[in-house]
Amino acid sequence: MARLILFNKPYGVLSQFTPEGRWQGLRDHLSVPGVYAAGRLDADSEGLLILTDDGPLQSRIADPRHKLPKTYWAQVEGVPNEADLEPLRRGVDLGDFVTRPAALRLIDAPAGLWPRTPPIRFRASIPTAWIELTINEGKNRQVRRMTAKIGFPTLRLIRAAVGEWTLGALQPGEWMEQHV
């Protein structure tokens, strides 16, 4: 039976056990031997990181060929309208690749959202909005690059779900184990 860890990765933590420079590693939050991250989140992104001790399961979760949907909550600078979001629904050219179409919608700030440490920059003259975005790929800094491409840079990015697994009520640094 495989072990599966659902971890709410805080801001400033790498998706590896070893810390580097100013960033913490997973070992600063998890003391579960023999598990490895199935995919990654940048240090400046938060939310669901899945770890497992099962190599084939790790590959199935992380490999874009399996097209597991990944859902993110992105707080963006500015307030996009539906027409602004339409390019993301069709796919956008980021220079090195064209994204697959994304499912997305404007949302209110997610319920139960924890404060980020450090907080995002606040500018009274520039409003922000939240977008829920689901993609079936996950290239380096993809969501941030997508929102910037349409003129709404991401200020805060939280992964809420990967496939059937969700963040649920886990707070930053909390984790729960499942057996699959």
Catalytic residues: 42
Question: Which amino acid appears at position 9 of this protein?
Answer: K
Cis peptide before 118 (omega within 30 of 0): yes
User: DSSP of 42-103, one letter per residue?
Assistant: -TT-EEEEEEES-HHHHHHHH-GGG---EEEEEEEES---HHHHHHHHH--B-SS-BPPP-E
Q: In terms of Cα–Cα distance, which of 75, 57, 74, 79 is closest to 66?
A: 57
CA pair distance 106, 160, nearest whole angstrom = 15
